[in-house]
């Protein structure tokens, strides 16, 4: 990025789309790298038009024009057709020599796709779109929590945790909304946090690391249309200046959830030995958003080992990734990481580790007034009539007899009532008798 752009963004906390490069130097790539990428692409996909090559590599045609000319002069590619539009419409195909060199390039690295951005550009963009730059007020936050019933003091503890961008530890007995609260924080980040930009891949020490993951990242189309681009429009875009760098994808702030399946290996670069390139680890893909570790303490790996892995990132806001060669490189750790557990924190980690987790939010069993609100909200959601008799029965029969009420009981019990009504082909409704029948199958065995 230019110093002028850097100064204009200073302190704004608002990510700006990276501009399209005008030259190979601005793209942060060497001619040799792009030559090999072009050869591999033609080797894997066959003959392609100049504009299609530019689109596939996500680079303006003028950036790859000299590389195509060099490969043509070297007798590695030839033009098999074209029209009056010019070089951008030429059909390029590999020669025998080109196929030989493409085969050699593929043995070195089999990656084809959007050209990577330099690591330093990725690092700079990460810091410009850090979670600490998000505007969060009680009014904006409540919109993502309207489906939950929370006491004001609990809600007021969540906002500062989001603004700080530090780690959050949510704990308490099971079934009382810890995961729902963590996901609501994620929904707020996703909806109110604005769009950010992630690269398809970046280049670190001559190694390609893929970042954009369509299974985890939600593409954000500012037009809301996401319409396909016709050929003429593509040509105009590829030949014009001032466009956005297509190597970056505009996404909603990511919300990545993992649970008992999390292992230490998932936090390291994933190396494809056959293709000789890397995939970024799961937590790395959460940069700019939320990384939620649900059911913390129930992973195969111990909580202490997991937190040991994050001691440096949690405190210094950066992490280190290691290549197959053993070389390490530094990357940003700019995300809100949330640990959610129904286990006693003191049984999981010691005070030294808890100190590194900035915010602790305890979620207790709901008091009766809160439980009734949750119960009635769920009734309305399922199209049932609220019933004070049903709630009274649950308290008399179970909650006042030793069973701790859970916020999730309302949903679970009412869904059973709904199933009973549908099975009997009768209108979905709620009575004391039906809630008793549902509770006898859901609660009784645990009392």
Q: Does residue 52 surpass a pLDDT of 50?
A: yes
Q: Is residue 322 part of a domain?
A: yes
Q: Do 196 and 164 sit in the same domain of this protein?
A: yes
* Whether the model pTM is above 0.85: no
d(CA 314, CA 161): 14
Which residue among 328, 362, 396 closes a domain?
362
Collect contacts of 230-233 with beta carbons under 8 A, ≥24 apart.
Answer: 231/51
Q: Is residue 242 part of a domain?
A: no
Least confident of 144-153, 315-324, 428-437: 144-153
Confidence of residue 118 (pLDDT cuts 50, 70, 90): very high
Which residue among 340, 362, 384 closes a domain?
362
pLDDT of residue 281: 94
Q: Where do runs of H (alpha helix) occur along 83-228?
A: 96-108, 119-128, 138-142, 152-164, 178-192
d(CA 59, CA 21): 8
- 221 or 118, which is more confident: 118
Q: Do 375 and 414 sit in the same domain of this protein?
A: yes
Which residue among 333, 362, 391 closes a domain?
362
Domain containing 270 — which CATH number? 3.40.50.300
The pair of structure tokens assigned to 77 is 């590619």
Q: Is residue 406 part of a domain?
A: yes
Q: Do 38 and 95 sit in the same domain of this protein?
A: yes
Give me the half-sphere count of Cα atoms (radius 13 Å) on the Cβ side of residue 414.
25
Domain containing 415 — which CATH number? 1.10.8
Q: Do 405 and 348 sit in the same domain of this protein?
A: no
CB 238 within 8 A of CB 51: yes
Q: Is residue 332 part of a domain?
A: yes
Least confident of 166-180, 229-243, 391-405: 229-243
d(CA 273, CA 324): 9
Q: Do 320 and 428 sit in the same domain of this protein?
A: no
Q: Is residue 2 part of a domain?
A: no
The pair of structure tokens assigned to 152 is 């004001």
CB 301 within 8 A of CB 266: no
The pair of structure tokens assigned to 88 is 């951008």
* Total domains present in the chain: 3
Q: Do 56 and 174 sit in the same domain of this protein?
A: no
Q: Is residue 9 part of a domain?
A: no
Which of 208-212, 369-373, 407-411 has the highest average model confidence (pLDDT)? 208-212
Q: Do 208 and 351 sit in the same domain of this protein?
A: yes
**Per this entry, what is the length of the chain?**
447
Percent of all residues in the chain with a pLDDT value above 90, rounded to a whole number: 49
Confidence of residue 85 (pLDDT cuts 50, 70, 90): low
Least confident of 38-42, 171-175, 369-373: 171-175
Q: Where do runs of H (alpha helix) occur along 244-321?
A: 303-316
Q: Do 323 and 194 sit in the same domain of this protein?
A: yes
Helix (H, G, I), strand (E, B) or coil at 335: coil
Structural domain boundaries, residue 401: 368-446
d(CA 360, CA 354): 9
Q: Do 267 and 350 sit in the same domain of this protein?
A: yes
Q: Do 439 and 373 sit in the same domain of this protein?
A: yes
The pair of structure tokens assigned to 106 is 């593929």
CB 390 within 8 A of CB 430: yes
Give me the half-sphere count of Cα atoms (radius 13 Å) on the Cβ side of residue 50.
26
pLDDT digits over 295-348, tens only?
888 888 888 888 888 878 888 888 999 999 899 999 999 888 888 888 887 788
Q: Do 156 and 296 sit in the same domain of this protein?
A: yes
Q: Do 295 and 375 sit in the same domain of this protein?
A: no
pLDDT digits over 348-372, tens only?
877 777 777 778 888 888 899 999 9
Q: Is residue 90 part of a domain?
A: yes
Q: Is residue 286 part of a domain?
A: yes
DSSP 347-411: HH--HHHHHHS-EEEE-PPPPHHHHHHHHHHHHHHTT----HHHHHHHHHHTGGGTPPP-HHHHH
Q: Does residue 199 surpass a pLDDT of 70?
A: yes
């Amino acid at each position: 990025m230019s110093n002028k752009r850097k100064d204009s963004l200073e302190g704004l906390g608002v990510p700006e789309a990276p501009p399209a490069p005008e030259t190979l130097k601005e793209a942060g790539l060497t001619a040799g790298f792009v030559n090999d990428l072009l050869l591999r692409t033609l080797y894997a996909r066959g003959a392609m038009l100049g504009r299609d090559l530019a689109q596939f590599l996500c680079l303006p045609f003028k950036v790859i024009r000299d590389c195509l000319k060099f490969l043509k002069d070297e007798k590695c590619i030839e033009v098999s057709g074209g029209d009056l539009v010019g070089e951008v419409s030429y059909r390029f195909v590999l020669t025998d020599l080109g196929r030989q060199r493409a085969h050699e390039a593929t043995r070195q690295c089999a990656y084809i796709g959007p050209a990577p951005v330099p690591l330093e550009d990725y690092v700079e963009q990460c810091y410009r779109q850090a979670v600490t730059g998000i505007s969060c007020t009680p009014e904006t936050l409540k919109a993502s929590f309207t489906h939950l019933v929370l006491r004001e003091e609990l809600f007021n503890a969540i906002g500062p945790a989001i603004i700080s961008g530090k780690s959050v530890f949510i704990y308490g007995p099971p079934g009382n909304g810890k995961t729902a609260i963590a996901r609501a924080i994620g929904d707020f980040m996703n909806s109110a946090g604005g769009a950010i930009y992630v690269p398809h891949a970046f280049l670190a020490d001559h190694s390609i690391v893929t970042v954009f993951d369509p299974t985890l990242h939600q593409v954000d189309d500012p037009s809301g249309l996401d319409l396909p681009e016709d050929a003429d429009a593509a040509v105009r875009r590829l030949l014009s200046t001032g466009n956005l760098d297509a190597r970056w994808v505009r996404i909603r702030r990511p919300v990545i959830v993992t649970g008992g399946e999390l292992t230490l290996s998932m936090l390291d670069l994933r190396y494809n030995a056959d293709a000789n390139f890397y995939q970024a680890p799961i937590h790395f893909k959460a940069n700019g958003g939320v990384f939620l570790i649900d059911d913390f303490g129930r992973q195969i790996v111990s909580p202490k080992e997991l937190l040991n892995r994050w001691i440096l990132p949690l405190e210094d806001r950066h992490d280190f990734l290691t290549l197959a060669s053993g070389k390490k490189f530094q990357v940003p750790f700019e995300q809100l990481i949330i640990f959610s557990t129904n286990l006693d924190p003191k049984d999981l980690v010691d005070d030294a580790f808890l100190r590194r987790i900035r915010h602790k939010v305890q979620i207790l069993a709901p008091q009766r007034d809160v439980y009734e609100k949750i119960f009635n909200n769920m009734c309305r959601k399922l199209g049932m009539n609220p019933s004070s008799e049903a709630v009274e029965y649950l308290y008399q029969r179970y909650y006042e007899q030793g069973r701790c009420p859970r916020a999730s009981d309302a949903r679970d019990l009412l869904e059973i009532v709904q199933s009973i009504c549908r099975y009997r082909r009768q209108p979905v409704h709620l009575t004391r008798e039906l809630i008793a029948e549902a509770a006898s199958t859901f609660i009784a065995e645990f009392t």
